[in-house]
Copies of this chain bind each other. A is one copy, B any other.
Amino acid sequence: MLGNFMYCNPTRLYFGEDALDNLGGELKKYGKKVLLAYGGGSIKKSGLYGQVTAILKESGKEVVELPGILPNPTSDKLYEGCKAARENDVDLILAVGGGSVCDWAKAVSVGAWCKEDPWEKYYLRMEEVDNRIIPVGCVLTMAGTGSEMNGGAVITNHQQKLKIGHVFGDNVFPRFAILNPRLTFTLPRYQMVAGFYDIMNHITEQYFSGTDDNTSDYVMEGLMKSLIHSSLIALQNPEDYEARSNIMWIAAWALNTFVAKGKATDWMVHMIGQSVGAYTDATHGMTLSAVSLPYYRYLLPYGLPKFWRFAVNVWGVDPEGGSDREIAALGLGRMEAWMKELGLVMSLRELGVTEEMLEGIAQGTFIMEGGYKVLSREEVLGILKASL
């Protein structure tokens, strides 16, 4: 564990098939006005909308509904939410949906009472929050982003062709989150496996960094092994409660700040993937799967010991089976086979990316430090070309 850090995760997380029974008790802690946010209407089909609105009614809440928060929530939708939250002076934002709805809710929670344009202040300028924050609660319907237990909120500005995530402090974390693994059963297969890879990539972004001996790396190996195991069971039977519940739990822990504490982290796959998302509006997890292997294969020589360890400890590659470089490459090969078995998108072309877009995507990529090599703009472009 390197350096100094503070760890605090105040989110109260209710897990299990009966998790929604706790919503009423949580609602008591907040005032009368609730902004109920959700996506494209799948919660109406599943019956969840009816359950949640009944609990809100029983709790005597005045509800302002804001539907239509689609994947990759936009700055325009953020402005709409800020206006609704402020004009109705809501006491709680209740996000019902996946990571996009949760992210949007957190962005509105800091944006509603922001005296300036929240996109400019909190995304372009990445400033600290210095205004009133509206509490957020989540009812999660998809496992992947980890948004239910952290302060992250990714917003896309299509005019500026930018998709940016701001990681806010623990005062912006959801106050409570309701995680019923059964709610994830009805997710279409494409979204399900995209979520699986989003989780995997959250872990690898934090794993492939640093050369110290760090407890977090051991924990992440455990999380990855459990994820790989459960993902293959869920692929065969999406209604396997044990597998889906393990995956939902891993998703939260992969990105609730725990494994990042005291550790270097990378995040370049997310940076490149988000820039792809700004150009294509593609499913987040698939933008990550499309660029991951070219990126990690390029990085391998710079972080060889960790790629070797990944191969042996996570994928069970025989440590005596070749040179260090060969063993490390075998690990990425096994990851590739797993990704293909899941049916992930393995090239940018499948997401609608054209050769002409690559330069713009490279330009829109935030280059972060922390990985085994800090990329130049040309190297980002090279990885994009290899991912096409």
How far apart are the CA atoms of A337 and B108 in the complex, in Å?
A: 56
A205 to B328, CA, bound (A): 35
Bound complex: CA A19 to CA B262 (Å):
13
Chain B residues within an 8 Å CB radius of A19: 4
A214 interfacial by beta-carbon distance below 8 Å:
yes
Chain B CB within 8 A of A68 CB: no
Write the A194-216 contact mask toward B (1 if CB under 8 angstroms, else 0).
00000000000000000011110
Chain A residues with a Cβ closer than 8 Å to the other chain, count: 47
| Inter-subunit contact A246/B213 (CB<8 Å) | yes
Say if the beta carbon of A239 comes within 8 Å of chain B.
no
Are A242 and B213 interface neighbours, CB within 8 A?
yes
Complex alpha-carbon distance, A14 and B226, angstroms: 29
Which residues from B are CB-within-8-Å of A181? 1
Partner of A261, one of B15, B22, B223: B15
The answer to whether A246 touches B214, judged by C-beta atoms less than 8 angstroms apart, is yes
Closest to A16 in B: B4
What are 5 contact pairs spanning A and B, CB under 8 A? A6-B15, A6-B22, A212-B242, A215-B226, A218-B225
Q: Which residues of B contact A258 (CB under 8 A)?
A: 253, 258
**Contacts A1-B15, A1-B242 known; 17 new A-B pairs at CB < 8 A:** A1-B245, A1-B248, A1-B249, A2-B242, A2-B245, A4-B15, A4-B17, A7-B15, A8-B11, A15-B261, A16-B262, A218-B225, A219-B226, A220-B222, A222-B222, A222-B223, A249-B261
Q: Which residues of B contact A89 (CB under 8 A)?
A: none
Could you tell me if A249 and B215 are in contact, using CB atoms closer than 8 angstroms? yes
Docked CA distance A248–B2 (Å): 12
Smallest CB gap from A7: residue in B? B13
- In the complex, what residue of chain B is closest to A225 when comparing beta carbons? B218
Name the distance in Å between A314's Cβ and chain B's nearest Cβ. 11
Residue of B nearest to A244 (CB): B1
Is residue A33 contacting chain B, with contact meaning CB distance below 8 A?
no
Q: A9 on the interface (CB 8 Å rule)?
A: yes
- Among A218, A225, A230, A258, max chain B CB count under 10 A is at A218
- CB-based nearest B residue for A6: B14
- Give the docked Cα–Cα distance between A249 and B217 (Å): 13
With contact pairs A15-B1, A15-B262 given, residues A215 and B223 touching in the complex (Cβ less than 8 Å): yes
Contact of A18 among B4, B13, B22, B253 (CB under 8 A): B4
Query: Which residues in chain A, 214-271, are within 8 Å of chain B measured between CB atoms?
Result: 214-215, 217-223, 225-226, 229-230, 242-243, 245-246, 248-250, 253, 258, 261-262
Which residues does chain B contribute within 8 Å of A9, judged by CB atoms? 9
State the CA gap A9–B10 with chains docked (Å).
6
Contact residues in B for A217 (Cβ distance below 8 Å): 226
Are A218's CB and B222's CB within 8 A? yes
Residues from chain B with Cβ under 8 Å of A17 in the complex:
4
